[in-house]
Amino acid sequence: MAAVLMLGAVAMPPDSRAQPRPESADDQSDARFVEMLRREDPASAERYSGLRDARTQAIAELQKTQAQYNGASPEFKVVFISQLKRARRKYAETSLALLDFLEARDRRMLATYEKEIARLNGLLDERQRTRDELEQLLRGN
């Protein structure tokens, strides 16, 4: 009986979310982000795309499993509980991997910006010293 129920749940009609949808602003923003990554480092862009796609797949699997669990009668929910836990774990793992990637990239960018700020501050300090010297020359004449 449980096997029949599982087969019936797997053969559910496709979700409307699985149909193609028009490209959203988020999709366009993501495409621009991937293109920027590709210009910086093609391997990084591929890594991000793989992590993003794995997370998207994990979300779809979690939604499917939740729908099966929610649609099951109370006595059959036990059949889906391990699948639901596995789907939640996969979602958490893929989300954390994506966050790790983004945080590492952001930390690298911060380090680069901090170095550049220090360089610019040095230039400003040098110009201030030059300005002070030139103003002293003007006062001395």
pLDDT band at 57 (very low <50, low <70, confident <90, very high): very high
In angstroms, the CA 17 to CA 12 distance is: 14
In angstroms, the CA 50 to CA 56 distance is: 10
In angstroms, the CA 91 to CA 107 distance is: 24
Angle between helices 77-140 and 2-10 (to 10 degrees): 40
In angstroms, the CA 70 to CA 89 distance is: 18
pLDDT, the chain, mean: 86
Structure tokens given for 130 = 């030059």
List Cα–Cα distances, 77 to 9, 21, 55, 114, in angstroms. Answer: 12, 32, 25, 53
pLDDT of residue 141: 66
98 found inside a domain? yes
pTM over 0.85: no
Nearest to 88 by CA among 56, 114, 65, 121: 65
In total, how many domains does the chain have?
1
pLDDT of residue 75: 87
25 found inside a domain? no
Domain span at 41 = 36-140
pLDDT of residue 120: 98
74 found inside a domain? yes
